[in-house]
Amino acid sequence: MATHRFQPTHYHTAIGAHAPVLHIASGDTVITTTVDAMGGDASGQQVTPGGNPQTGPFFIEGAEPGDTLVVHFDRLTLNRDSGVTATVVAANVVDPSFARELPAQQRITWQLDHAQGMATVTDSGGKLDGFTIPVRPMLGCFGVAPPRGQAISTATSAEHGGNMDYKGFEEGVTVYLPVYQEGALLFVGDGHAAQGDGELNGDALETSMDVEFTVDLIRGKSTQGPRMENEEYLMASGIANSLPEALQIATTELARWLERDYKLSANESNVVLGTSIRYDIAEVVDPQVHIVAKISKAALATLTK
């Protein structure tokens, strides 16, 4: 149960079986940093090419294909005072005729007020100056080495993780990932100070971050993609080609979770889901889209007592 401090010196923009930067054990904690999506570090200086560069990979001793890697995000901390967002929504999230009227893409800067937990536009030169939203730090991209000898761009995502862009990947969440390669090979990066549902503008409030996480292993048992858990919800990711398929996968994985781990019958899990499921639309502008299905632990508790 060691705690490792790791300062990255290089980054990856494809998630694959790259040489590990650190070997850690199940139960260990890592304290490290991530650069922003454009490769900028805590000082705001670009230290690596952009495209969601990842810190890692971390080799988890004993992780074998077929296991589940458990990652608990202990702390996600803003480590500089500014972030940027793009200004224009992607053409595919508005009506095709409306897309024709969209303005040209720009980037604007936000000041991050760590004490108040707020972010404010500072340099738009117009009415937007002063626009203020709450910060809610999260990681946009992380994952493990994928199967079949593949190396997959951090522009996209799949069952192994990658560019998932879910606002729920925040401090306190526990994530379950399938292991495909020996050592799992965990990468982390792409900090967001805040993000709208769907990440419509193609990016979130992008910034560098200090990250502390703890890993664990579940042996000989694996999911078909990421699952998450926090105090309030069980959550299952549907990462897929389209929103309908993402919804299908998220719903199915949540049903499987209830049936296999909570020992509900198919009928019981269907009633729970049908009356109580909530969906978050995490990501709709990347090559793969992402819907999260979640179920309240409070509702479940009335069933299993």
Q: At closest approach, how far in Å is the CB of 1 from its own copies?
A: 35
Number of residues that bind its own copies (CB under 8 A): 89
43, two tokens: 């000082």
Contact 162, 15 (CB under 8 A): yes
- Nearer Cβ to its own copies, position 77 or 88? 88
- Sketch the per residue contact string, 98 through 127, with its own copies: x for CB under 8 A, - otherwise: xxxxxx--x-x------------x--x-xx
Report which residue type is found at 118. Answer: M
Kindly state whether residue 198 participates in binding its own copies, applying the rule CB under 8 A: yes
- Nearer Cβ to its own copies, position 26 or 154? 154
Kindly state whether residue 265 participates in binding its own copies, applying the rule CB under 8 A: yes
Q: At closest approach, how far in Å is the CB of 116 from its own copies?
A: 12
166, two tokens: 């879910």
Residue among 243, 122, 227, 121 nearest 174 (CA) = 227
CA 20 to chain centre: 21
Residue 125 CA: distances (Å) to CA of 81, 108, 122, 193, 207:
19, 10, 8, 22, 21
Which residues, numbered 43-62, are part of the site for its own copies (CB under 8 A)? 51
Kindly state whether residue 197 participates in binding its own copies, applying the rule CB under 8 A: yes
| φ/ψ (deg, to 5) at 34 | -125, 145
The region of 31-39, 174-182, 226-234, 275-283 touching its own copies under the rule CB under 8 A is 275-283
CA 193 to chain centre: 12
Kindly state whether residue 77 participates in binding its own copies, applying the rule CB under 8 A: no
23, two tokens: 């070997």
CB burial readout 53-73, b (16+ within 10 A) else e? bbbbbbbbeebeeebbbbbbb
Q: At closest approach, how far in Å is the CB of 79 from its own copies?
A: 20
Which residues, numbered 236-255, are part of the site for its own copies (CB under 8 A)? 240-244, 247-249, 251-252, 255
Q: At closest approach, how far in Å is the CB of 297 from its own copies?
A: 13
Kindly state whether residue 38 participates in binding its own copies, applying the rule CB under 8 A: no
